[in-house]
Amino acid sequence: MTISRRALLTISCSLMMVGLPGIASAQLVSISTYDASLWNHVYHPAWLVRLHECMRVTGTIVLERSEKDGDIHIQLKLDKQFLPLLDAENKSRQGGNLVLEPICVGTVTQQDAKASCKAFTNQVSIPKKGDHVAVTGTFVHDAQAGHGWMEIHPVTIIEPN
């Protein structure tokens, strides 16, 4: 039996969060899939402080816009049990929403970001505004200057919920 490279890089995610202030571990128990190979295509990964490699949250899409680096910036109004994931920057600068970043989805027009998405197009399904979804990916703090909010970046999968 042959196992594909993608299958080897996709792990099953069983999540028990411990150590994030204000979050009960029972709220974040989830099983989903996570594709670690997406990190090979993240533009400036040093800007993202990884807090948990695999997290699944649910909520409603309230905004989405294409970015010059090929990513799509999505705001997710979290379901109540996930609200403790938000920090002050999410509350003040992202409308009280969690940021989602599916990477390498659109056309890359930012010159210094082109190498990240070269020969790769993400096939993640992008929902419409108003859709209630479950999202799996890496939970990070975006430490880029002028940001400072919490995100799921990169996003592995977005599913209707």
Domain of 19 in residue numbering reads as 5-160
pLDDT tens digits, 100-132: 999 999 999 999 999 999 999 898 999 999 999
Helix (H) or strand (E) holding 13, with range, is strand 10-15
pLDDT at 26 over 50: no
Q: How many CB atoms lie within 10 A of CB 158?
A: 22
pLDDT at 97 over 80: yes
Measure CA of the first residue to CA of the last residue in the chain; give whole Å: 34
Please give the structure tokens belonging to residue 78. Answer: 């979290």
Predicted TM-score (pTM) of the model is 0.83
pLDDT tens digits, 46-83: 999 999 988 899 999 999 999 999 999 999 999 999 99
**What is the Cα–Cα distance from 64 to 128, expressed in whole angstroms?**
8
**What is the Cα–Cα distance from 90 to 109, expressed in whole angstroms?**
26
Our count of domains for the chain comes to: 1
Residue 53 belongs to a domain with what CATH number? 2.40.50
